Chains A and B, each alone.
Chain A
Amino acid sequence: MKRTIAYLSLLFILGALLYIANPNYGLKFGLGGNNWLKYRYTDNYYIEHGVEEVGGMNIVTDIVFDYRGYDTIGEATVLFTAIAGAVALLRPWRGDGE
């Protein structure tokens, strides 16, 4: 019973997402021309001003390390926590021999 409801709700969410992803009602794919400046003005700014403001030729690195550096700090923290958790959980148990 519960499982049926779960599958039905999954189906409903999938249908809603498919509706949203329809170019006639929601998201548009392959933006170009006027739509580029209308929906992707942030990307346009990064592409036009990235080299002079940050200095790196690689725009992705410019964004990841300079414009949105907090994000990278969070990512590094997530990696650190994951490594620390894995190493802490995989230690030998007390009285395990060795």
Chain B
Amino acid sequence: MGLIVKTTARVTIPLIGIFGSYIVMHGHLTPGGGFQGGATIAGAGILFLIAFGLGEMKKRYNKNLYSALEGLGGLAFLGVAMLGMSVAFFYNTLWHNGPVLNGKPGTLLSAGFLPIMNLAVGLKVFTGLVSALTAIALWRRWKG
């Protein structure tokens, strides 16, 4: 892409990333959450891919790291869900009698495992969409 597009992307990619992180972090207070915020951050990654091209993306993108992070997001989700296993699966033990994340409803550190789950799902969606789009961009055979 041209110089204007590259400069604009340089400015907007951090803003999109910050906004997506805001959506993920405030998933239990405002509309949005892990899936929506993760897709927003993945939009920043795709903007990077389109504005700077596949060559630049190949240097920055590490397939193994992104696959590992996607698996890690899913595992964090499951692990947090199992925290209250002594009562039931998905028992919100952090909210009912946990040491952290049990503040007043409406504050950032409230709602038990919901913020952790939002972070895990956001990480999973972001890395998954970026690796899928990079795999599609790397596929370059138009004729069989």
Contact = CB atoms under 8 A, between A and B. Distances in A.
Interface of A: 51-58, 60-62, 64-66, 69-70, 72-73, 75-77, 79-80, 82-83, 86-87, 90-92, 96
15 contacts: A54-B112, A55-B105, A56-B28, A56-B111, A57-B28, A60-B31, A61-B111, A62-B28, A62-B114, A79-B125, A79-B128, A87-B131, A87-B132, A90-B135, A91-B135
A96 to B, nearest CB: 7
The DSSP consensus for interface residues of chain A is helix
Contacts of A55: 28, 92, 95, 102, 105, 110-112, 114
Given A56-B28, A58-B28, A66 B114 contact: yes
B27 A58 contact: yes
Question: Which size bracket describes the interface of B in this complex?
Answer: 35 or more
B132 A83 contact: yes
A65 B117 contact: yes
